[in-house]
A and B are shown apart, each in its own frame.
Chain A
């Protein structure tokens, strides 16, 4: 991959990732079964012994299925989850190291009770302990020139209890109704900054280890119904309320591994959404073709965004960068899917709109979300030509993403400074791409244990230079001239993989 770049500088880079999945399970007896799962993944980037940057997730789950009776199934889980990163510059006195991590410990108990054919009751409780260590940066040299910079650590407890029933009052009517209750508590040891209305820090409050200093409650009803018109078609509808207590402090469309998760707190409210959906489902040709059309409306409150020129890196007062507002989205989704036979795949089309309204952003005017793409098409197809050869293709299309462009310019300090339009008033060019693959299986007719296949995949078959970013800049040669350029990531990319099984 790096071969594609012939730059000498690039060759000094090390860039790789690895992951490892491990799982075991054991059936103790007919009523008890244990599972243990473990995942570890890491990304590493190093530049010539000078920079280093690595990040990754780790998860661990221990689960016990227990059948209290033939009608009562239960599962008990113990779960650990961790995400961390480390970034450093390793040259003598100017060296520094910046680390950040967040981890969860969770215990869950879930029960399903199957009393009769008309009801299925699910209920359970769980509790999660979150630990946030958003960032610690310090010098590494013996006589370091840096002070230590630490973002306040904090903890949180998230509790949930739920009960729901799937009820079939009639042969062709099923209704699901349920309620989820949640509690979120901030817990010390931590330091919380207090801000006044202009988001300037006034002072801070420190909490001792284990002190609960803030509690949020949530009640989230969930319901749906399915009304079968006949064995081939049905109408379904649903309503759900969801609440979110931790937020990703990220300001760009391309998320970076440095993004940190920030819990709801006295300074940041939990997010809330209500979603309504209605759909018509219909199968054709003996259930070979499944089709559906769904419309949805989603109303979101306490959404997060950031002030202009927000400082999100290593900022202890990061909560002062958050701004709160509302968002709403609605759309129509069409799906045709075939899952059996030599020819399989699906076609999906989505028509949608997502808008945001924040009093302190864009002068309070409504603006499109950066992922508001009205048209979105995906065609995924796979065809088994013969026992040896399979071909597959997919084509995706979406309207260009909204973006903010300059609409004027002025000069200051011998530099050209752009004047920008309203937020997300323009759009990037539309995005579309075709991928293709061909798989050839070896040893199909023989009864050998060892089988293999060769897969040729081509990404972006017609080599469309889809714009990834559009930049405006001052020309080097003639300082009064400004230009626009587009950055595109992937030209046509073929790849060859040899797969084997035995």
Chain B
């Protein structure tokens, strides 16, 4: 109880900077396919501060009336800058393009890509599905859990297992969420493969400590897995045929830029040989 009162007092004190003429810039940050970008940084140059998009790509920043330069960035994508004359609330939605390989990295030094340093978050590591795809595939299956097992502070429970131990916690102390639903057994085939089909996944974030107050129920970690939403602009398919299993993913808009779906399937066939 005392803790709660203290918390509320500190909270109200920090909010007590009531000021006049403040306006809000808000919106969504997406990629070319219409996928929400989670954790994209919005940096306000004049104030040397900024914010970050939430799990649905949404951001909101309230500033005093004035002129600002906003930089929107996300790892692996080209930063976009907007000059804003702020005199009323504005809704600014941004679409970021993947960093083109022909542009030399050195040119874009003006942007700040130091979110891992200035973000008030530690003991976490985030991987995008396309980074996970670059890791050598065990028996042809790109595997999220195998990628997690190579992060600092994380051990694989045993060879070929989908269990993992985070900072000395046992394997049942990890909260595994797939679009907010708890997954109780993340293993296929005794743990040689995980239950997550990388083609359907957008990104994966592991919290080894410093778990936000919004989450709880497990002692040692939170593995937050977000599925792709589905291409909002055009129909896309991708898949693969491998020695142990095959996969197929289809995504398409339902109404362009308003709704979309994605369907992704995978099957192993070791038995048919």
Contacts and interface: CB of A to CB of B under 8 A. Distances in A.
Q: Is there a contact between chains A and B in the complex with CB atoms less than 8 Å apart?
A: yes
Interface in A306-320: none
A91 interface: no
A120 B273 contact: no
Nearest to A175: B120
A175 B11 CA distance: 11
A70 B91 contact: yes
A21 to B, nearest CB: 4
Interface of A is mostly: strand
Nearest to B122: A236
Nearest to A459: B138
Nearest to A28: B258
Interface string B29-64: 000000000000000100111010010101011110
21 contacts: A1-B244, A1-B270, A1-B273, A17-B245, A19-B265, A22-B264, A41-B195, A70-B91, A116-B22, A117-B47, A120-B51, A163-B11, A226-B120, A237-B122, A255-B163, A300-B169, A333-B153, A341-B105, A380-B150, A394-B135, A500-B238
Which of B140, B191, B236 has the most C-beta atoms of chain A within 10 angstroms of its own C-beta?
B140
B138 A224 contact: no
Contacts of A248: 170-172
A340 B7 contact: no
Contacts of A401: 158
Contacts of A330: 168
Contact of A392 (B22, B135, B167): B135
Interface string B258-272: 111111111111111
Given A254-B191, A257-B190, A341-B105, A497 B241 contact: yes
A369 B167 CA distance: 12
A502 B152 contact: no
Contacts of B188: 17, 19, 41, 43
A277 B152 contact: no
A222 B212 CA distance: 7
A300 B218 CA distance: 12
Interface of B: 3-4, 7, 10-11, 14-15, 17, 19, 22, 24-26, 44, 47-49, 51, 54, 56, 58, 60-63, 75-76, 89, 91, 99, 101, 105-106, 109, 112-114, 116-123, 125, 131, 134-140, 147, 149-161, 163, 165, 167-173, 178-185, 187-191, 193, 195, 197, 200, 208-214, 216-220, 227-230, 236-245, 254-255, 257-273
A457 interface: yes
A162 interface: yes
A429 B116 CA distance: 36
Interface in A223-256: 224-226, 228, 231-234, 236-238, 240, 242-248, 250, 253-256
The 3 closest A-B pairs by CB, nearest first: A329-B168, A178-B213, A248-B172
A234 B116 CA distance: 9
A194 interface: no
A172 B264 CA distance: 44
Interface in A45-85: 55, 57, 59-61, 63, 65, 67, 69-71, 73, 75, 77, 79-81, 83
Contact of A296 (B17, B75, B153, B214): B153
B62 A59 contact: no
Contacts of B151: 348, 378
A418 interface: no
A39 B264 CA distance: 9
Nearest to A336: B152
Given A16-B267, A164-B212, A283-B114, A298 B120 contact: no
A294 interface: yes
A26 B187 CA distance: 31
Contacts of A244: 173, 217-219
Contacts of A501: 236-238
Given A77-B180, A287-B112, A83 B214 contact: no
Given A1-B273, A2-B273, A17-B268, A234 B118 contact: yes
Contact of B161 (A59, A120, A255, A277): A255
Interface in A142-167: 158, 160, 162-167
A288 interface: yes
B262 A21 contact: yes
A321 interface: no
Which of B105, B106, B179 has the most C-beta atoms of chain A within 10 angstroms of its own C-beta?
B179
A424 interface: no
A386 to B, nearest CB: 10
A231 B112 contact: yes
B168 A392 contact: no
Given A13-B271, A339-B76, A179 B61 contact: no
Contact of B217 (A117, A245, A254, A328): A245
Contacts of B101: 342, 384, 387
Interface stretch (A133-141, A202-210, A349-357, A474-482): A349-357
A117 B136 contact: no
Given A165-B10, A279-B122, A369-B168, 11 more contacts: A16-B272, A21-B264, A23-B262, A167-B10, A237-B122, A242-B211, A243-B216, A243-B217, A271-B173, A330-B168, A496-B140
Contact of A489 (B113, B159, B217, B273): B159
Contacts of B243: 1, 495-497
Contact of B24 (A70, A104, A333, A455): A70
Contacts of A412: none
Contacts of B158: 253-254, 401, 468
B185 A458 contact: no
Contacts of B220: 242, 273, 298
A236 B115 CA distance: 13
